[in-house]
Structure 1
């Protein structure tokens, strides 16, 4: 979930970002199974060395993909491609070019508020061969519940390498007060409207570089869109609330 970056360490955004930086791989995860995220996609961008994985995302319908706004902010439509249909990001059997990028009109790159976007595909996906369309939750997950996150981002904080196999981890949801406390600074309270935090306090499991835009799933429904985390991927992870943005996402 790097913004305009493919496989680099995330730059700290400064005090205005309230210590929140775009999320980029699963730290402390394990290889995902086909059932973990049948709607998972890899959002890729054309560069000097060809197409490379930039962020995650997931299929909402035949030609709509949900991802994080920071993943595609400033991206050129002709350079984007979405691939899906498997666990190995280098051997995903289905792909489509992108015809339209729709970023939430209130997206704020400084603090990652409203960090959601919808990509329109030129080629329709089908629910076959293990591929499914995601169902968005109608409420936020309960405090303490474990959401399953998936991604091809970094799985070690001190490495720029990203795994070929999709990784998965379960993260416990924090209370809104705990989430705000993690990211607030003196004189700059953190607004949790439209988002939630998940992850153990010791950060042994977290999203990291390359995971942005991916799903946070509970009970077969997508409850969150991976947004960001603290510098070095050492804070509980931030997710945009699927239920909060449900109407907007489904209307695009």
Structure 2
């Protein structure tokens, strides 16, 4: 593994495996040469792999898949990904196709131009990245204490080949349910997901509970993040203890200026040695004030959203679905946030799905 590999940013994403025996070349087995220069914009490339053939599929294809890709300029790619919170480095290149791409299980697969693998130390690294898996965790938070969020859940995606990835947060509710954001669930099968909880360190969470059912709000709009509600039903009942508790739903909207708090792990690589739950106090912001801030940025704060802020802390990618709690009840589900996850969320408040607004819909789907 490259000594500068960064699991948070995917920078220096290189690894060489040494095999037990020599490769015997034949008409169906060949090695590939490494590129010594980066391909130019518009160059035709090819991508192959056995990864998933759609974002909603839970199985891998038997036959190797192939697609043509076009190299995208670094500047264009950077402009596309920076608003989503992902920073491109000099060790990355981008490729695109209007109807095809890599998916889960394709990471590490070869991007080939003119018969050469376009990855080498003096070229760039092609990486498969998705807005769902952006880097970042609670900005400006502190390590949480055991009694601050015993209902906190990490929602983990099985990506194939025994690989798991934290994608969102959530809250334990009822007998065996998790309340989270719809865009944490959209496009997945229940068998793709599991809930992990009971502890502060993500790496050593004691309980893994499989998801058996996904309920996404029928009004969910993936473009505006309106109606951003989801309930996951778990396989096993939640066993309560001093470190595991469920949380009650708020049935009324918290008043402007009310104290609240946000917890979460953000984006945590499963290979991390340690990743402690983060905590930050927040203050509820009026919907009117929040709309005045966000409307000039072409974002509408609807009746199903509430806002919260802190002059030096807020949620970031990987924190979506995390609980906003006031007076011991779940009042919000983190839904979206400002570009590049600004620490000053007074200037750009975090947006949460308003639990009280859809209390009945959530309660009807939570296992009692």
Q: Is the 8 A contact 1:83 1:94 kept in 2?
A: yes
SS of equivalent residue, structure 1 residue 185: helix
Offset of residue 146 of structure 1: 2.0
The 2-side partners of 1:8 and 1:64 are apart by 32
Q: 1:77 aligns with which of 163, 186, 190?
A: 190
Offset of residue 52 of structure 1: 1.6
User: What is the 5 A alignment of 1:19-98?
Assistant: 25-48=137-160, 50-98=163-211
The 1-side partners of 2:230 and 2:247 are apart by 15
Over the aligned positions, Cα root-mean-square deviation in angstroms equals 2.5
Q: Is the 8 A contact 1:225 1:241 kept in 2?
A: yes
Q: Is the 8 A contact 1:26 1:154 kept in 2?
A: no
For 1:158, the equivalent position in structure 2 comes to none
For 2:337, the equivalent position in structure 1 comes to 229
SS of equivalent residue, structure 1 residue 127: coil
SS of equivalent residue, structure 1 residue 207: coil
SS of equivalent residue, structure 2 residue 289: helix
The 1-side partners of 2:210 and 2:301 are apart by 35
For 2:244, the equivalent position in structure 1 comes to 131
Report whether the alignment pairs 1:196 with 2:306.
yes
Q: Is the 8 A contact 2:314 2:350 kept in 1?
A: yes
Q: Mean alpha-carbon deviation: is it higher for 162-171 or for 77-86?
A: 162-171
Q: 2:318 aligns with which of 194, 201, 210?
A: 210
Provide closer, same or farther for how the CA distance between residues 70 and 151 of structure 1 changes in structure 2, counting only shifts above 3 A: same
For 1:18, the equivalent position in structure 2 comes to none
Question: Structure 2: any 5+ residue segments left out of the alignment?
Answer: 1-6, 11-80, 85-130, 343-347
The 2-side partners of 1:107 and 1:163 are apart by 35
Provide closer, same or farther for how the CA distance between residues 51 and 154 of structure 1 changes in structure 2, counting only shifts above 3 A: closer
Q: Is the 8 A contact 2:284 2:308 kept in 1?
A: yes
Provide closer, same or farther for how the CA distance between residues 163 and 227 of structure 1 changes in structure 2, counting only shifts above 3 A: farther
Provide closer, same or farther for how the CA distance between residues 222 and 105 of structure 1 changes in structure 2, counting only shifts above 3 A: same
Q: Is the 8 A contact 1:152 1:163 kept in 2?
A: no
Offset of residue 61 of structure 1: 1.4
Q: Is the 8 A contact 1:153 1:163 kept in 2?
A: no
| Count of aligned residue pairs for this structure pair | 232
The 1-side partners of 2:245 and 2:362 are apart by 17
For 1:145, the equivalent position in structure 2 comes to 258
The 2-side partners of 1:147 and 1:47 are apart by 34
For 1:165, the equivalent position in structure 2 comes to 276
The 1-side partners of 2:278 and 2:325 are apart by 14
Offset of residue 154 of structure 1: 5.3
Offset of residue 53 of structure 1: 0.8
Q: Is the 8 A contact 1:7 1:209 kept in 2?
A: no
For 1:16, the equivalent position in structure 2 comes to none
Question: Structure 1: any 5+ residue segments left out of the alignment?
Answer: 1-5, 14-20, 156-160
SS of equivalent residue, structure 1 residue 112: coil
The 1-side partners of 2:273 and 2:169 are apart by 13
